[in-house]
Chains A and B, each alone.
Chain A
């Protein structure tokens, strides 16, 4: 992978003491990575991500500093909840010098610096037209804290251009388009020196591209947000991002769903384990299980039978006892009935008789014989309701109460019978209707199907419309403050409109300047009307929906070609009923592949109101103070693409097309990519520092203190030495 070497700490360099004191240390202090090494070498010794993490150790509680990437497994010893990756940069300017100090500490420590100070001249990169405060604080840090003898500041894009000029890729007059982490610059070069007056900077860089991609994917796949970490998204961007030649036509491809679009769509399968499938049980297993079940069933049945027989025998005994009692009663004399009865616990002969009846009934039921309940109720009915027909004045108060009770019982039983009858009739009716339906279907299947289809369509439309109204109404309700005092223009909900209408008509009816609402009792019925309106809304659609469901199921049964139109109310239709499949764990990147890098050329897409890369080239050529002599043509024939955020495939062609739009007809345009867009800045700086004239371009501590801030402001490196 290009430049993120996560979780590999760079080793401590061991050859510090062998290197002479005159050899400068070269630092490329970039927005995304920090590179440090020796001048004259071709690779930086140490490279790491330019961030700092300051977690607290869980046990000791001390706050430690971790610079750059680290092994995420080791973080378990630290509490990282209150700390996050912090960068010393705000846009491309260093502003947090405490973090800068941590980073420099780490860089020097990894370089193996020994001794009481860093005793080498330092060349460090900065942004174009770095504010004087940042520059002076950096110089102060280096001089005061590290004891550096001399320092030089340079622009990373310029070093990259000079390096490529040495390699022959570009000429001494040209344009460097450097797309970095947070910003992109277009710097013209005339006679080998950058013309900072014509420099142009747009605040869009690789960070914005990654952030855009991350946001888009999170919004599209909210379930997988935990998988979409910054590092992962950056990896996706580097692997799949490309720049379209013409955004509008490329997007057309995807919109019309052509084959090319499908080929260009990439799919990322997240780790997913399918649910364990049931192992097909062998025959013997099935037989064994069936046998066990059979045995259990048998046992249960035996137990039930035993219980039943014991109950029957109990009841028979009871019945016998009761009959015996009755017989005894017959033989006993009249006077002794009470005493005799009190012994047995029954109050009257009738009670004994009714107990006998009960027991015989349950006996019969237990034995499985049909029970004649009906005539019993009949006879008891006439007995029970005996008091009803007798008029009131002939009865005592107790009897009147009795009569009322009997009346109540009678009406309830009659009502129950009526309901049963109705249900029976309804069932018959439904049966009949189904029969008719079946006949209709059998005799003319196509017509029937047609009718069913139209019915389904109408119903689904109605349901959808009502749903739309409801959600729209509730949305407006939710957007305002869910109170009745809604603004005048927003009463879009039908129920709200109705309510308002009722209220205003009520208020209007009175007139005459005085509000007499409420004096009459009928006025308050108004509120009943309003709440009824509100309730109606919720109950109505239910029958329609039930009907719809029934018709849908019917259609699914009959018509093999019918596919119910799924109402996809969410962007990603995941119903909770069906189990999650492989597709749910895939993240497809189609349009986003070229939509995200497009923001480099059209910053308006993310709301940054500045020119894109191709326009920047034109603007910077326009800003050149000395034009003429064909310098513009020379510049456009040597355009260098450098910086970490310019490695997208297709960028050079796009840039060329964009610049051609702005230049006169047939002017020479040649866009080249730097030999190594990522490392060239450091390499250029290293080769620059290796030359003998380098030390003349640095300034020492004395210079810094004697000449003051104004001098530092005007300090500019000369790049051709």
Chain B
């Protein structure tokens, strides 16, 4: 290990005195590391339906969809967008923006739509 790296104390030391089991023992080198459950799986495993519904848990404190009708804004400029391009489904504000929309390559179109979570995802 280079001198300046050691001096900067950048790297976590291998052995720490206050630990009962060191990381190298717990996750030995070469062995596949544990697969951790993602949040979705954790929530599923919690079985919140078995518990009374008025008890707060991770799922039922989530916000409901918005009450107000959503205003549509242009994907490219951010202005108010009264129009939608039927081919690409991008919202645009006026004719100049429309020219740009039509001139966009396809992957940019998908990226703009992905900002709105409206991209076509092919699995």
A134 within 8 A of B: yes
Task: Find chain B residues with CB under 8 A from A472 CB.
Answer: 102
Taking the closest CB of chain B, its distance from the CB of A124, in whole angstroms, is 16
Cβ 8 A contact of B103, one of A90, A569, A607 = A569
Which residue among B17, B34, B36, B57 has the maximum number of chain A CB atoms within 10 Å of its CB?
Answer: B36
Taking the closest CB of chain B, its distance from the CB of A694, in whole angstroms, is 22
Task: Find chain A residues with CB under 8 A from B66 CB.
Answer: 602-604, 609-612, 615
With A95-B39, A106-B12, A200-B61: A606-B117 Cβ-Cβ less than 8 Å: yes
Write the chain B residue with the least CB distance to A113: B18
Q: Is the CB of B12 within 8 A of A607?
A: no
Cβ 8 A contact of A71, one of B10, B18, B62 = B10
Q: Is the CB of A609 within 8 A of B65?
A: yes
Q: Is the CB of A602 within 8 A of B70?
A: yes
Write the chain B residue with the least CB distance to A212: B115
Q: Given the complex of chains A and B, what is the CA–CA distance between A615 and B70 in angstroms?
A: 13
Task: Find chain A residues with CB under 8 A from B116 CB.
Answer: 605-607
Q: Is the CB of A133 within 8 A of B46?
A: yes
Cβ 8 A contact of B23, one of A105, A610, A612 = A105
Q: Is the CB of B70 within 8 A of A604?
A: yes
Residues 599-626 of chain A, each 1 if its beta carbon lies under 8 Å from chain B, else 0: 0001111111111100110010000010
Q: Is the CB of B12 within 8 A of A98?
A: no
Q: Is the CB of B64 within 8 A of A130?
A: no
Q: Is the CB of B18 within 8 A of A219?
A: no
Q: Is the CB of B17 within 8 A of A219?
A: no
With A146-B19, A215-B115: A611-B5 Cβ-Cβ less than 8 Å: no
Q: Is the CB of B115 within 8 A of A216?
A: yes
Task: Find chain B residues with CB under 8 A from A93 CB.
Answer: 39, 42, 58
Q: Is the CB of A105 within 8 A of B115?
A: no
Q: Is the CB of A77 within 8 A of B5?
A: yes
Number of interface residues of A (CB under 8 A): 86
B16 within 8 A of A: yes
A255 within 8 A of B: yes
Q: Is the CB of B10 within 8 A of A9?
A: yes
Q: Is the CB of B38 within 8 A of A90?
A: yes
Interface residues of B in 68-123 (CB under 8 A from A): 68, 70-71, 73, 76-80, 93, 99-100, 102-104, 106, 108, 111-112, 115-118
Task: Find chain B residues with CB under 8 A from A199 CB.
Answer: 56, 61
| B-contacting 9-mer, from A57-65, A393-401, A416-424 | A57-65
| B-contacting 9-mer, from A114-122, A301-309, A683-691 | A114-122
Q: Is the CB of B36 within 8 A of A98?
A: yes
A102 within 8 A of B: yes
Q: Is the CB of A117 within 8 A of B78?
A: no
B32 within 8 A of A: no
With A65-B11, A90-B38, A199-B56: A611-B67 Cβ-Cβ less than 8 Å: yes
Q: Is the CB of B20 within 8 A of A144?
A: yes
Task: Find chain B residues with CB under 8 A from A591 CB.
Answer: 77-79
Q: Is the CB of A595 within 8 A of B78?
A: yes
Task: Find chain A residues with CB under 8 A from B1 CB.
Answer: 57, 60
A570 within 8 A of B: yes
With A201-B61, A612-B66: A131-B56 Cβ-Cβ less than 8 Å: no
With A65-B11, A66-B11: A606-B70 Cβ-Cβ less than 8 Å: no
Q: Given the complex of chains A and B, what is the CA–CA distance between A96 and B17 in angstroms?
A: 23
Task: Find chain B residues with CB under 8 A from A101 CB.
Answer: 23, 26
Q: Is the CB of B18 within 8 A of A146?
A: yes
Taking the closest CB of chain B, its distance from the CB of A188, in whole angstroms, is 12
Q: Is the CB of A145 within 8 A of B79?
A: no
Residues 302-339 of chain A, each 1 if its beta carbon lies under 8 Å from chain B, else 0: 00000000000000000000000000000000000000
Taking the closest CB of chain B, its distance from the CB of A563, in whole angstroms, is 17
Task: Find chain A residues with CB under 8 A from B20 CB.
Answer: 116-117, 144-147
Task: Find chain A residues with CB under 8 A from B102 CB.
Answer: 471-472
Residues 1-12 of chain B, each 1 if its beta carbon lies under 8 Å from chain A, else 0: 110110011111
Cβ 8 A contact of B39, one of A91, A212, A219 = A91
Taking the closest CB of chain A, its distance from the CB of B36, in whole angstroms, is 5
Q: Given the complex of chains A and B, what is the CA–CA distance between A105 and B106 in angstroms?
A: 46
With A117-B18, A117-B20, A255-B79: A12-B46 Cβ-Cβ less than 8 Å: no
Q: Is the CB of A105 within 8 A of B42?
A: no
With A101-B23, A108-B18, A145-B19: A607-B9 Cβ-Cβ less than 8 Å: no
Q: Given the complex of chains A and B, what is the CA–CA distance between A531 and B45 in angstroms?
A: 63
A202 within 8 A of B: yes
Taking the closest CB of chain A, its distance from the CB of B8, in whole angstroms, is 6
Q: Given the complex of chains A and B, what is the CA–CA distance between A608 and B42 in angstroms?
A: 21
Q: Given the complex of chains A and B, what is the CA–CA distance between A252 and B118 in angstroms?
A: 25
Q: Given the complex of chains A and B, what is the CA–CA distance between A109 and B22 in angstroms?
A: 13
Residues 34-51 of chain B, each 1 if its beta carbon lies under 8 Å from chain A, else 0: 101111001101100000
A67 within 8 A of B: yes
Q: Given the complex of chains A and B, what is the CA–CA distance between A101 and B26 in angstroms?
A: 11
Q: Given the complex of chains A and B, what is the CA–CA distance between A212 and B112 in angstroms?
A: 10
Write the chain B residue with the least CB distance to A147: B20
| The 3 nearest A-B residue pairs measured at CB | A607-B117, A604-B70, A90-B39
List 4 additional contacts besides A129-B57, A606-B116; criterion CB under 8 Å: A102-B12, A251-B73, A607-B115, A609-B65
Give me the interface of B with A, judged by CB distance under 8 Å: 1-2, 4-5, 8-13, 16-21, 23, 26-27, 29, 33-34, 36-39, 42-43, 45-46, 54-58, 61-68, 70-71, 73, 76-80, 93, 99-100, 102-104, 106, 108, 111-112, 115-118
5 contacts across the A-B interface (CB closer than 8 A): A129-B58, A133-B42, A145-B19, A197-B56, A611-B65
Give me the interface of A with B, judged by CB distance under 8 Å: 9, 12, 57, 60, 63-67, 70-71, 74, 77, 90-91, 93, 95-98, 101-102, 105-106, 108-109, 113-118, 128-134, 144-147, 196-197, 199-203, 212, 215-216, 219, 247-248, 251-252, 254-255, 471-472, 478-479, 568-571, 591-592, 595, 602-612, 615-616, 619, 625
